[in-house]
Amino acid sequence: MTATLTSAPAIVRTIAELRRRVSEYRTQAGPGAKVGLVPTMGFLHEGHASLMRRSAADNGLTVLSIFVNPLQFGPNEDFERYPRDEARDLAVAAEAGAQLVFLPEVKEMYPTPPSTKMTVSGITEMLCGASRPGHFDGVGVVVTKLFNIVQPDRAYFGLKDAQQVAVVARIVSDLNQPVEIVPCPIVRESDGLALSSRNVYLKPEEREQALVLSQTLRQVPAWIREGAAPGELKSRMAAAIARMPLAEIDYVEVLTYPELQAPSDAAPLRDLKMNLLAAVAVKFGQTRLIDNVLLNPTEVI
C-alpha cells in the first residue's frame, strides 16, 4: 500500500468563478501556461482517471468538468437515473491530479433553453447516432460551451466513445476551435470489460455475458489477417456475440476512422490503407454497452 499525496481540488460551480480561476492560473504561470480539460458526466472510473493523469502530465492546470448534460439524452434514455456520486468523484479527481473541478447545475449551463443548435452531418447518422437521434447535437453544444468556458489548450476524450471523439474533432476542425483534441485508449477491467459508468446497472449474469464484447473485438485482428471483407467480419462478430443468450445487438459495424465511411466490401480489409474502427453496441437486460477496437489493417499482419 502506497500513500499517495494528493491535495483536494477546488470545486467551482459557476462559469464566472471557473473563468476567474483559469485566468488567474494563466497570469501566474505566464506564457508557457497550459490548461487541460477532461469533460465528463461524473460517476468516475479508472477510464476517466487515465484522462486526468494524462492531462496532468501534459498541462500545468487540469480542469475536470462533471455535468450530466440533459441535451444529449433522448426522451426515453437514462438522464434522470444516470448514476451520480459527487463525493467519490472528488476523491478520484484528487488522486488523478485534477486541480479544478467544474460542477455546474443545469441552470448555470442552460439559464434559458438554448436557441442555438449544432448539427454534424456525415458522421452522426451511423453507430450510436442512428440509435440515439439528437445525441451528438447535444454533445456538440455542451462540448463547445465547455471549450468556450474553460478555454483549454487540450481536451482529453476516451476512445471508448470513438464516434464522439470523431464528432468533436470534426466540430473543432470545422469551427477552428482553438483546442487540441487528445484521444486516449480504452481502459478495461482485468477480465476485459470496457469501463463505463453504466456498468453498475449490470446484473451478475449480464456482466458475465458482457465479456463477449471484448472477447469478440480481440479476435478482429486475426479475422482481418485471415482475409475477411467487411461483410464477413461483421457476420463473424455478430455471430460470436449472439452466442450469449442475454445479448441483444444494437449494431455491429466496421468503418474507416475518423471518416466513419463503409469500406468497400469487394476487397479484404487487410488491403485497406486507412484506420479502421470495429464497433459494437449491445444491450444486456436494460443496459446498453458499447465497445470497439481501432486498428490499422496494414499493421495487424
135 in catalytic set = no
Q: What is the distance, to the nearest Å, from the Cα of residue 120 to the centroid of all Cα atoms in its chain?
A: 17
Cβ atoms of residues 139 and 183 within 8 Å: no
State how far the Cα of 39 lies from the Cα of 52, in Å rounded to an integer.
10
CB of residue 36 to its own copies, shortest distance in Å? 18
Query: In the set 37, 141, 181, 233, which binds its own copies (CB under 8 A)?
Result: 141
CB of residue 129 to its own copies, shortest distance in Å? 12
Assess 2 for contact with its own copies (CB under 8 A). no
Amino acid at 260: L
State how far the Cα of 83 lies from the Cα of 76, in Å rounded to an integer.
16
Please, is 111 exposed, middle or buried when counting C-beta atoms within 10 Å of its C-beta (0-12, 13-18, 19+)?
A: exposed
Local structure of residue 188 (DSSP, 8 states)? B
CB of residue 26 to its own copies, shortest distance in Å? 9
Assess 175 for contact with its own copies (CB under 8 A). yes
Local structure of residue 279 (DSSP, 8 states)? E
Measured from the CB atom, is 59 or 177 closer to its own copies? 177
CB of residue 15 to its own copies, shortest distance in Å? 6
Separation in Å, CA 92 to CA 7, 50, 168: 11, 10, 25
Measured from the CB atom, is 148 or 286 closer to its own copies? 148
State how far the Cα of 26 lies from the Cα of 28, in Å rounded to an integer.
5
State how far the Cα of 83 lies from the Cα of 98, in Å rounded to an integer.
21
Measured from the CB atom, is 19 or 283 closer to its own copies? 19
**Strand ordering across the sheet containing 100-102:** 10-12, 100-102, 61-66, 35-40, 154-158, 180-184
Which of the stretches 53-61, 144-152, 190-198, 246-254 binds its own copies when contact is defined by CB under 8 A? 144-152
Assess 170 for contact with its own copies (CB under 8 A). yes
CB of residue 146 to its own copies, shortest distance in Å? 8
Query: In the set 12, 63, 71, 123, which binds its own copies (CB under 8 A)?
Result: 123
* Range 9-48, binding its own copies (CB under 8 A): 15, 19, 27, 31
Measured from the CB atom, is 18 or 217 closer to its own copies? 18
Query: In the set 6, 14, 119, 296, which binds its own copies (CB under 8 A)?
Result: 119
**Catalytic residue selected from 15, 18, 22, 48:** 48
Query: In the set 55, 151, 197, 292, which binds its own copies (CB under 8 A)?
Result: 151
State how far the Cα of 276 lies from the Cα of 109, in Å rounded to an integer.
36
Assess 298 for contact with its own copies (CB under 8 A). no
State how far the Cα of 156 lies from the Cα of 51, in Å rounded to an integer.
6
> 194: helix, coil or strand?
strand
CB of residue 147 to its own copies, shortest distance in Å? 9
Query: In the set 20, 106, 122, 227, which binds its own copies (CB under 8 A)?
Result: 122
Whose CA is closest to 250, among 141, 132, 145, 135? 132
Cβ-based neighbour number of residue 2 at 10 Å: 4
Q: Which residues are annotated as a binding site?
A: 41-48, 72, 158-161, 164, 187, 195-198
Where does this chain bind its own copies (CB under 8 A)?
A: 15, 19, 27, 31, 114-123, 140-141, 144-145, 148-149, 151, 170-171, 174-178
Could you list the active site residues?
Answer: 48
